[in-house]
Amino acid sequence: MSDVVLSGVVKRYGRVTALAGADVSVPSGQLTAVLGPSGCGKTTLLRCLAGFERIDGGEIRIDGDRVAGGGRHVPTHRRNIAVVPQEGALFPHLSVADNVGYGLDRAARRSDRVEQVLALVGLAGYGARMPHQLSGGQQQRVAVARALAPRPSVVLLDEPFSALDAGLRAGLRQDVREALRADGATGVLVTHDQGEALSVADKVVVLRDGRVVQAAAPTTVYREPVDPWVAGFVGDAVLLPAVVEQGAARTALGVVPVAGPVTDGPVTVLVRPEQVRFTAGPGAVTATVLRHDFHGHDALVGLRLADGTRITARILDGAAPLSPGGEVSVQVDGAARAFPRDTAVGLPASTVVELAA
């Protein structure tokens, strides 16, 4: 049973501040994803946790013991952690079994622990192979098994799936998730891929500019992001200017109920594209179809509302084909999230965000 707690961790490289007082707690037995765009400090956070870097402020506790901060710096090998790096970094001169057994003492190496963790990652019987005889995905599985073998307090996964192709990635991350869960391991997964973070983690910590902006369950981060930036970073977002009156927002998409407590006045509301439904019910508004991007399992439809606002709707495949120029009726399903108007700045450029012109 292990808890990892980082409080107010500061790390600077010369004049660059990589971590500006990061607070993260990693519940034991769970997988926590640290999510953020590149340069947000997530890899630095992992390296500080592992002891590869000395922190300049704050403290880090593993199982209640302070391992860094307050003049203390416990070296990596005494922290009871294990790292799974991006490219696996298997020891090329050791067999799979010797790689997995590297962190074990003599007695444990003779036990069935090596075979046990190899089975957990789906590579039972591969012990005699050499790393170069394995595919990229298999190497990554061995790296996970090697990290699990000594039962560390926490397994640190540094974007371990990013070097693999998309088809392999989805399967492997679920398998790794299962392996960690079956072994009761605590994990920290560093990633810039929001899909990965939301789908495998028990808890998502969103990092921006060296600070934690939100730490919560994946569903919470997606449905109740703390600000428009997080909303746009973790998924596609339709952000609309609105005015709240008596708990409901008046928007170009009609009147939308607002979730959570909110004061009356001008706000920015978040609607996810999948909340935009094609229906002709009461309260629906008319929109013009601009484009129809077919993705197989679903489709994104670009729409222009009566006042010129452009929005995106996500529909499941099977809905009637919509040709550009056609008129449709749309309505928001469920409640929207409202943010004070002045927070809608500094949105990540990579997200599909449609703001009023």
Partner 1 sequence: MRRLAPRPALLAASTAAVAVALIPLAYLAVRTAEAGWDRIAAELWTERVALLALRSIGLAAVVTTGCVLLGVGTAFLVTRTDLPGRRTFAVLGSLPLAVPTYIAAFSWVSAAPRLEGFWPAALVLTLCSYPYVLLPVAAALRGADPAQEEVSRSLGRSGWQTFTAVTLRQIRPATAAGALLVALYVLADFGAVAILRADTFTRAIFIAFDLGFDRTGALVLSSVLVALTLLLLTGETATRRRGARYAQLGGARRPAPRLSLGAARWPVVAALLGVAGLALGVPAVNLARRLAAGVSRPGALTEVLAAAGNSLTVSLAGAALTMLLALPLGLLASRAPGPLTTVLDRLAYLAHALPGVVIGLSLIFFGINVAYPLYQTHWLLALAYATHFLPLAVGAVVGAAAQSPAGLEEVARSLGRGPWTVLRTVTLPLTLPGIGAGAALVFLAGMKELPATLLLRPTGMNTLATELWTSTAVGAYAAAAPYAALLVLISAVPTWLLVARSGLLDKENLA
Contacting residues for 331 by C-beta, under 8 A, at least 6 apart: 253, 254, 276, 277, 279, 281, 283, 284, 285
User: Closest CB to partner 1 among 134 and 313?
Assistant: 134
Per-residue contact flags (x/-) with partner 1 for residues 85 to 114, judged by CB under 8 A:
x-x-x-xxx--------xx-----------
Question: Which residues inside 315-334 make contact with partner 1, applying CB under 8 A?
Answer: none
The structure tokens listed for 5 are 């707690």
| 14 counts as binding partner 1 under rule CB under 8 A | yes
110: left (phi over 0), alpha (psi -120 to 50) or beta: alpha
Go through the chain and tell me how many residues it has. Answer: 357
Min dist CB 174 to partner 1, Å, is: 24
| DSSP secondary structure letters along 191-230 | ES-HHHHHHH-SEEEEEETTEEEEEE-HHHHHHS-SSHHH
The secondary structure element, H or E, covering residue 153 is: none
- Shortest distance in whole angstroms from residue 327 CB to partner 1: 47
Residue 150 within binding range of partner 1, rule CB under 8 A = yes
Amino acid symbol at 265: G
For 149, 157, 292, the CA distances from 66, given in Å and listed in that order, are 24, 21, 55
Selected range binding partner 1 among 72-80, 170-178, 201-209, 304-312, rule: CB under 8 A = 72-80
Q: Is 243 in the site for partner 1 (CB under 8 A)?
A: no
Single out the segment in contact with partner 1 by CB under 8 A; choices: 50-58, 124-132, 262-270, 331-339: 50-58
261 touches partner 1 (CB under 8 A): no
- 156 binding partner 1? (CB under 8 A): yes
Q: How far is the CB of 140 from partner 1 (least distance, A)?
A: 13
Minimum distance from CB of 54 to partner 1 (Å)? 9
Rounded least distance, CB 83 to partner 1, Å: 4
Strand partners, 214: 206
- 122 lies in the site for partner 1, by CB under 8 A: no
- Residue 142 three-state SS: helix
| Closest to 277 measured CA to CA, from 333, 236, 221, 229 | 333
Number of residues that bind partner 1 (CB under 8 A): 31
* Binding status of residue 82 toward partner 1 by CB under 8 A: yes
Using DSSP's 3-state secondary structure scheme, residue 261 falls into: coil
In angstroms, what is the minimal distance from the CB of 104 to partner 1? 9
> What is the binding site for partner 1 (CB under 8 A)?
13-14, 44, 47, 50-53, 75-83, 85, 87, 89, 91-93, 102-103, 143, 146-147, 150, 152, 156
